[in-house]
């Protein structure tokens, strides 16, 4: 990490499970001379830039395809000025397809087929090129990598799977490799700094690929242990892919961004409809202000479990975190929650300011909010129907 900014490489993530959202930094150096975000006003946001979809060339020939066999894609907004040789990648989220029925449904959407992806994407939040909205990374090369394999860019099944004559492809690892190969040829290989980010299922992917990403960037350390060395024979195989376990084997500095009361986790893990036949949690799931005292006690226990899981990582000097007490999901890709006059704050710092402070080593960032409902700056989700992540 002390090789100097010219050799810097960076990565970040936002995932689900106990460590639900995280940034990974691959920067050997975080320059304390970088400008402070306190000098930037957070107002006057303009309309977001629309960025065209690019399908990966030759992806089909490499077998790097979406669930339905179409080629994967990404949106690339070139950097400019001092950011022209710096790269920020964001891995799109969208849950998993948990069985063939779900996977078949996803094949008819943007989460399983590039045929259904919108041809232009708004770049907001951490992907914005507006200095007022994204003060530290606005002029970097920014890439949104589309998610269409259904398993966090992690599958690599050689043969196509057939169900009732319908083919399925589980090739997330190949998609990752194909996208990285193409971006390396477009300038990522010459990056002086690089930052890998993601949210939800994309965040989990960032945990999985963080050290691999670091090894791709010039001058970044390649002396990295094989992933999942922390897994043992007495563990359930699925545990090895949970962020709480994956993080134990990561060598790259990491920033964890997570709400203590993640709306997706509360709906799908803590109190899923299937375990609530009498719908006792329905109002609470849709609106945290509707939770009764017993339910709030359960949510505080959920928060404590998250903080307990974070305790070993909080001790790591190079790691950072921002755990607010909001009822929300994926705060980095929202202009209001990333950096705005009404953005959530801890110690009067927005998420964007905290991430920038950590990345550029302006201060140590280990921000842990107090219990709900202590933070009046939170944007708490109020749902009119169950939350389904897109």
Which amino acids are annotated catalytic? 200, 262, 329
- Best CA proximity match to 320, nearest among 360, 353, 364: 364
Biggest CA-to-CA distance, the chain: 60
Q: Which residue matches tokens 């100097």? A: 4
Q: What sign for the dihedral angle of Cα 111, 113, 118, 119?
A: positive
β-pairing verdict for 366-368 and 141-145: unpaired
Q: How far apart are CA 227 and CA 270, in angstroms?
A: 28
What the block records as the tokens of 257 is 């961004």
- 14 with 259: CB under 8 angstroms? no
Scan for tokens 């010459």, then name that residue. Answer: 190
Helix %, strand %, coil % for the chain, to 5?
A: 30, 15, 50
Distance CA 245, CA 45 (A): 39
Q: Is 374 helix (H, G, I), strand (E, B) or coil?
A: coil
Residue 50, H or E segment: strand 49-55
* Angle (CA) 122 16 113, round 5°: 50
What six digits make up the tokens of 148? 């269409």
């Amino acid at each position: 990490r002390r090789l100097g900014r010219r050799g810097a490489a960076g990565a970040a993530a936002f995932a689900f499970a106990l460590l639900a959202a995280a940034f990974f930094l691959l920067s050997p150096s975080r320059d304390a001379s970088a400008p402070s975000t306190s000098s930037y006003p957070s107002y006057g946001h303009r309309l977001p830039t629309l960025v065209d979809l690019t399908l990966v060339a030759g992806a089909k020939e490499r077998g790097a395809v979406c669930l339905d066999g179409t080629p994967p894609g990404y949106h690339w907004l070139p950097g400019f000025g001092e950011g022209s040789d710096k790269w920020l990648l964001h891995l799109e989220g969208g849950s998993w397809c948990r069985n063939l029925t779900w996977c078949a449904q996803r094949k008819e959407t943007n989460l399983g087929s590039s045929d259904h992806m919108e041809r232009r994407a708004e770049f907001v939040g951490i992907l914005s090129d507006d200095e007022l909205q994204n003060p530290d990374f606005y002029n970097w090369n920014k890439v949104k990598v589309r998610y269409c394999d259904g398993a966090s860019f992690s599958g690599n099944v050689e043969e196509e799977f057939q169900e009732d004559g319908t083919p399925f492809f589980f090739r997330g690892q190949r998609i990752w490799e194909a996208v990285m190969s193409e971006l390396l040829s477009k300038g990522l290989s010459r990056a002086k700094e690089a930052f890998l980010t993601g949210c939800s299922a994309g965040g989990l992917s960032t945990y999985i690929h963080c050290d691999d990403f670091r090894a791709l960037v010039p001058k970044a350390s390649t002396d990295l242990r094989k992933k999942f060395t922390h897994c043992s024979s007495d563990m359930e195989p699925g545990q090895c892919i949970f962020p709480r376990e994956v993080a134990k084997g990561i060598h790259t500095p990491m920033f964890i961004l997570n709400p203590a009361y993640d709306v997706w986790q509360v709906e799908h893990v803590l109190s899923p409809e299937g375990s609530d036949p009498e719908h006792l949690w329905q109002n609470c799931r849709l609106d945290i202000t509707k939770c009764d005292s017993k339910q709030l006690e359960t949510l505080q226990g959920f928060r404590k479990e998250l903080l307990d899981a974070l305790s070993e990582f909080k001790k790591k000097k190079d790691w950072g975190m921002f755990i607010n007490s909001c009822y929300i999901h994926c705060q980095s890709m929202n202009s209001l929650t990333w950096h705005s006059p009404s953005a959530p704050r801890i110690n009067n710092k927005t998420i964007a300011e905290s991430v920038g402070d950590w990345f550029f080593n302006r201060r140590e960032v280990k921000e842990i909010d107090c219990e709900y409902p202590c933070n009046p700056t939170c944007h708490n989700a109020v749902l009119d129907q169950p939350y389904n992540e897109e």
